[in-house]
Amino acid sequence: MSQHAALSAGNVAVITGGASGIGLAAAKRFAALGMRIVLADLGGDRLEAAVREVRAVSGVGAEGVRAVPTDVSKADDVRALEAAARSAYGDVNVVMNNAGIQPGSSILDASSDWRRIVDVNLWGIIEGSRVFAPRMIASGKSGLIINTGSKQGITTPPGDPAYNVSKAGVKAFTEALQHELRNKEGCKVTAHLLIPGFVFTPLTANGRTEKPAAAWTPEETVDFMMKSIHAGDFYILCPDHDVSRALDERRIAWAAGDIIENRPPLSRWHPDFSERFKASVADV
C-alpha cells in the first residue's frame, strides 16, 4: 500500500504521548518508514526506554530518533517541543497529538482534577495543533495533524464526565481545524481525528497484564489509522475485536437521536429507553 506523501522517508514526525501505547506504536511505524521521530512525553525511564525501542527499528539509525520531555498541559512546553523538533530536523511533516490521561472522574470531583484532565486531553491538543500548524502550512509541504479523540467524546457514556468533556472538545476542535485548513489557499496540511476502539494500553489496562480478547493492540490501531489516512478519511473510527463499525454507527446515531427526538440525555442508559436501544442494535 502506498503511503500519504507526509509519511515519507526523511520526513519528520512529532508524537506526544509517545512513550507507550498508540503513540509508541505509531512512532515505530513511522520510524520503520525512514522518518525522523521526535518522541514527546513526561520525562523519565519510560520515555528513555521508548527511544531505545524506536531506534531499534529506525530506518535512519539512532540519530533519527530524539526525545523531548514534555508536559502538553503547559503551553511553554509545547512551544519548546516545536522549537526542539525544528532545531534537530527542520520542517515538521506529521504531528500526532496523542497524549492523554484517564484517571477517572465524577461530576463533583475537585475542580483541580477536572482541570488536569481537560488541560492534558484538550488543551494539549489545541496547543499542539496551533503551535505546529503555522510553520507546517508555510513550508508548502504535505503535512498531517492527527489528533487522538475517543468514542466517549461522541456517545458520552456515564461514569467519566471529565474525560468525556475533554474528548468531545477534541472532536469539535479537530473538525474546526480541518475546515480551516481545507479553506486555506495553497495549504497541503490536513487534520484527522483518530477515534480508537478498545485498545490495550497502559491507559486502559486497569491492572491487567494480559490483553483482553475484545481489545485491539496498539499496532492494530495504527494499521487501521495508516489505511484510513491513505484513504483520505477524516474520522478514523476504529472497531475492535468486540465492537463492529456497524454497532459503533448505531450507538452514535442513537446519541444524536436524543436531541432530534427530545429524549432524556444519555437515554441509552435511561430505564425508559434502554430496552428500546438494545432492540435497535440487536441485529448487529
Which residues have CB under 8 Å from 89's CB, separation 6+? Answer: 12, 36, 38, 66
Burial of 53 (0-12, 13-18, 19+ CB in 10 A): middle
Let me know if residue 143 belongs to a domain: yes
CATH number reported for the structural domain that contains residue 179 in this entry = 3.40.50.720
Per-residue pLDDT, 203: 76
Q: Which three cell numbers stand for residue 136?
A: 507546517
Three-state DSSP at 80 gives: helix
Q: Which three cell numbers stand for residue 187?
A: 495549504
End-to-end CA distance of the chain: 30
Does one domain contain both 31 and 135? yes
Write out the chain's pLDDT in tens, 284 residues: 568 999 999 999 999 999 999 999 999 999 999 999 999 999 999 999 999 999 999 999 999 999 999 999 999 999 999 999 999 999 999 999 999 999 999 999 889 999 999 999 999 999 999 999 999 999 999 999 999 999 999 999 999 999 999 999 999 999 999 999 999 999 999 999 999 999 998 878 777 879 899 999 999 999 999 999 999 999 999 999 999 999 999 999 999 999 999 999 999 999 999 999 999 999 99
Q: Which residues are catalytic?
A: 163
Q: Which domain holds residue 138?
A: 12-242
Does one domain contain both 118 and 250? no
Per-residue pLDDT, 1: 52
Does one domain contain both 85 and 212? yes
Does one domain contain both 118 and 36? yes
